[in-house]
A and B are shown apart, each in its own frame.
Chain A
Amino acid sequence: MSADLNRTPLYDLHVELGARMVPFAGWEMPVQYSGIIEEHLAVRNKAGLFDVSHMGEARIRGKDAAAFLDAIMTNEFFSLRLNHARYTIMCYPDGGCVDDLIIYRVSNDEFLICLNASNAAKDIAWMKSQLGNWDVEIIDECSQWAQLALQGPLAEKILSTLTHLKLDSLKRFGFLIGDVAGVQNCIVARTGYTGSPGFEIYVPAKQGTEVARAILEKGKPDGLLPIGLGARDSLRLEAGYPLYGHELSEKISPIQAGLSWTVKFTKPQFIGRDSLLSQTEKGVASKVVMYSLNDRRIARPGATVFSGDKAVGEILSGTLSPVLNKPIGTALVATGNNLDTLTVDIRGTHLPLQITQTPFFK
């Protein structure tokens, strides 16, 4: 594998566990251990542990931190309570997305931002370019953290044996700072990217492997498995979560992606507001839809979507849903087409897309 790929602090553990490593967003990451479907079902029925240390982190600190975020993010942050997190989009003036992010309020004047791996450097440069006269400091902490996701119905049971933190009082999108497996200063958030209950855990990078090993060992009797990026993708698609570069991009706005709920027009000004408001009032040229197929063939990103014999869109994501046992995914479709009669071209065969408004797994 290419020598210029980054490795997470857990690299040696992945190799030891027999993971198949692939390049992803500039990182050498585990795509699977025992198999995508088995790993997917472990998360849905028991528990799974993901290494998501490729994700980036930036700290925003200063008197104007909340006001600065409110000026560059679509969601609202002055109202975010301490020890809570919020999902947001960061847009360009034309409404295209710089990235989608989760932002944690650590104190009145301090926030921690989770950045997509492929966008981390771009995000930090963009935020710095918007600093102007704001009294704010932006600190790159990408290399300081290992990030683990412990997801599944048994996640809380497993984690509660490894921490003194009061997990039962932790609400969705709340977070606590404390010990995990004897390692101090971990951030434990009740968030995730799977649709199943669970936690995302930020661990000081040097102790990442130690905490991962403790969770794997403690969870083993309950059926916990290590989970790769393959199942991470099928889990998030079942749950209807967007992935930057697929359902959101510089070309696909949050309005097109169906994420209007993250855009707070009640704020008088933020980057992208005018364009996004215009898209909301006048309508958009194309929208992201979710589909399933009554077939075994998976529609791959880039495959053409048809209405009759007219090309009206393309597939953005596609995988097999192990829960439904059929292919699912997302497509970008020009508005004004009858969504009940769309087809996708898979190697010359046109298969009907079953469009759905609600996620496949809730």
Chain B
Amino acid sequence: MSNVPSNLRYTKDHEWVKVDGDGTVTVGITDYAQAALGDVTFIDLPKVGRHLEANDVFGTVESVKAASDLYSPVSGEVIAINSSLNDTPDLVNREPYEKAWMIKMKLKSPAELDKLLDSSNYQSIL
């Protein structure tokens, strides 16, 4: 069974979103996603300052088996990236919800958060 923390929101593409309360969000991929990918070997993240629309491809996560696109859950500006993933991409397998966060974004429109899935809705599509 996949771990789906109840304090996060989710997309159908298996990203998680943590609402940080100051108009910013933190984004990563879910436990289900990391298990489906297998051993993660490389993560390509955007530059800080890039503007993303919801559903834009913001990067790539690569495992031994395949490369998969990462989709922005919301619109906004990238304000931080997790550069520790360059050297330790396998953090995504070990701690998908904590240390392996991928980007922080400044929200363009907080209303977009309502379109995301809550933990029980996300659990139901797994």
Interface residues of A (CB under 8 A from B): 20, 31-32, 35-37, 230, 234, 295-298, 300, 319-320, 327, 347
**Smallest CB–CB gap between B40 and chain A, Å?**
10
| B46 at the A interface (CB under 8 A) | no
Query: Which residue of A31, A32, A36, A300 contacts B67 across the interface (Cβ within 8 Å)?
Result: A300
Residues of chain B lying within 8 A (CB to CB) of residue A295: 42
A-B contact pairs, 30 of them (CB 8 A): A20-B38, A31-B38, A31-B65, A32-B38, A35-B93, A36-B38, A36-B39, A36-B64, A36-B65, A37-B39, A37-B64, A230-B64, A234-B64, A296-B42, A296-B89, A297-B42, A297-B44, A297-B67, A298-B41, A298-B42, A298-B62, A298-B64, A298-B67, A300-B66, A319-B64, A320-B41, A320-B64, A327-B41, A347-B60, A347-B67
**Smallest CB–CB gap between A326 and chain B, Å?**
9
A111–B57 Cα distance when bound, in Å, is: 55
Looking at chain A's contact residues, is the secondary structure mostly helix, strand, loop, or mixed? mixed
Residues of chain A lying within 8 A (CB to CB) of residue B89: 296
Chain B residues numbered 59-109 whose CB sits less than 8 Å from any CB in chain A = 60, 62, 64-67, 89, 93
Instruction: Given contacts A32-B38, A296-B42, A297-B42, list 10 more A-B pairs with CB under 8 A.
Output: A20-B38, A31-B38, A35-B39, A36-B64, A37-B39, A296-B62, A296-B89, A298-B41, A300-B66, A347-B60
Residues of chain A lying within 8 A (CB to CB) of residue B41: 296, 298, 320, 327
A298–B93 Cα distance when bound, in Å, is: 18
A35 touching B60 in the complex, CB below 8 Å, given contacts A230-B65, A296-B89, A300-B67: no
Residues of chain A lying within 8 A (CB to CB) of residue B66: 300
Residues of chain B lying within 8 A (CB to CB) of residue A37: 39, 64
**Smallest CB–CB gap between B88 and chain A, Å?**
11
A295–B41 Cα distance when bound, in Å, is: 10
Q: Which 7 A-B pairs have the closest CB atoms?
A: A296-B42, A36-B64, A37-B39, A320-B41, A320-B64, A297-B42, A36-B39
Of A20, A296, A319, most B-chain CB atoms within 10 Å: A296
Residues of chain B lying within 8 A (CB to CB) of residue A20: 38
Q: Which residue on A lies nearest to B87, using beta carbons?
A: A296
Interface string of B49-60 (1 = CB under 8 A from A): 000000000001
Query: Which residue of A230, A296, A298, A347 contacts B38 across the interface (Cβ within 8 Å)?
Result: A230
Q: Which residue on A lies nearest to B41, using beta carbons?
A: A320
Q: Which residue on A lies nearest to B43, using beta carbons?
A: A296
Interface string of B23-50 (1 = CB under 8 A from A): 0000000000000001101101000000
A300–B38 Cα distance when bound, in Å, is: 16
Interface string of B107-119 (1 = CB under 8 A from A): 0000000000000
Residues of chain B lying within 8 A (CB to CB) of residue A36: 38-39, 64-65
Residues of chain B lying within 8 A (CB to CB) of residue A35: 38-39, 93
**Smallest CB–CB gap between A348 and chain B, Å?**
11
**Smallest CB–CB gap between B44 and chain A, Å?**
8
A297–B65 Cα distance when bound, in Å, is: 12
